[in-house]
Amino acid sequence: MLKYDVSGVGLNLVTGEEYLERTNAARLEDGRRPSAGVWVLGVIQGSLAEQAGVRLGDELLEVAGHSVCASPPFKVASLLQGGSADGADLALKARRLDGSVYDVSLPGKRAGPSSSPVSLELPRAPSGDAVVKLRRFDARAAADVAGALARAEAGGTGRVILDLRSNRGGLVTEGVEVASLFLAEGDVVLRLQGRGAGARPPYIARSPPATSLPLVLLVDGQTASAAEAAAGALRGNCRAVVAGRQTFGKGLIQSVYELSDGSGLVLTVGKYFTPAGVDIDREGIQPDFRSVPDQQQAEEVLRACRLERAPAASA
């Protein structure tokens, strides 16, 4: 048992499909039957959201003037948690169950992650290694990694070291987006399986890669969840080698549900797998090297990976 609020303002956010499932509703009051969007499954009594008038069943449409209709719930929760950059009130636009739209403001100054999860160490010599340290997969992860890659390429980097050590995860969707920065359009990033629902459509890289620089991943025993998903995607597509220690081994998809006393229950609702269908839960990812290899050593491993995948790709 724990408080279900990860938004920092007292909201439990889910997709429209999850909202209908959890409330046993066939459709909304105005006849809609949503499958996407971000919906309020619960509001903590006395919270900022309740004081502002947000209710169970409301659909969030905009945060700070930006549409969140196509964003996953936990990404929206992270945006809410961070507040506004200048401390000003945070404007929300939402829609009631009856279809009416309203605007509210939430206090901008409150606790929440505001610093970038990414730091960049440029190489000291031309064509050297740039180290991109990613501490967590929050709502800024993919955008900030993309920015770091652009600066690294502009600085004459020869190879990227993506340091995921002590990264316990966060938003799995950001793990997918970070991995997609390095993958070819159309590559499988992640495979999913829900409870009793069988396999779901896999996550696919939707755009060309942000960089073609060689890539090494650094991991350790604290690398978990979304960080493992990203590492599994990049190695599974023969895009990167992995160096360090065996990862934690958390391949579960978990959701948090409201209870009547304002607490919540964490339930496992599915699992994710590498592009090849490997289950890393409780197993983790075994590294290819104990320390960062030279590029010739890395290329030998990647060449073997591509040869191993070739029969499966042509089958």
Question: Catalytic amino acids?
Answer: 225, 250
Q: Which of 276, 187, 185, 169 is nearest to 229 (CA)?
A: 169
CA distance 208 to 228: 22
87's CB contacts (< 8 A; 6+ apart) are 108, 109
d(CA 75, CA 117): 14
Backbone angles phi, psi at 66, to 5 degrees: -110, 135
Is 98 strand, coil or helix? coil
**Whose CA is closest to 64, among 87, 98, 46, 45?**
87
Alpha helix (H) residue ranges in the chain = 16-23, 48-52, 73-82, 141-154, 172-180, 226-236, 295-314
Q: Return the beta strands (E) in the chain as ranges.
A: 11-15, 38-43, 59-63, 66-67, 90-95, 101-106, 118-121, 129-134, 159-163, 188-194, 198-204, 215-219, 241-244, 252-258, 264-273
DSSP 143: H
Compute how many other C-beta atoms are within 10 angstroms of the C-beta atom of residue 101.
11
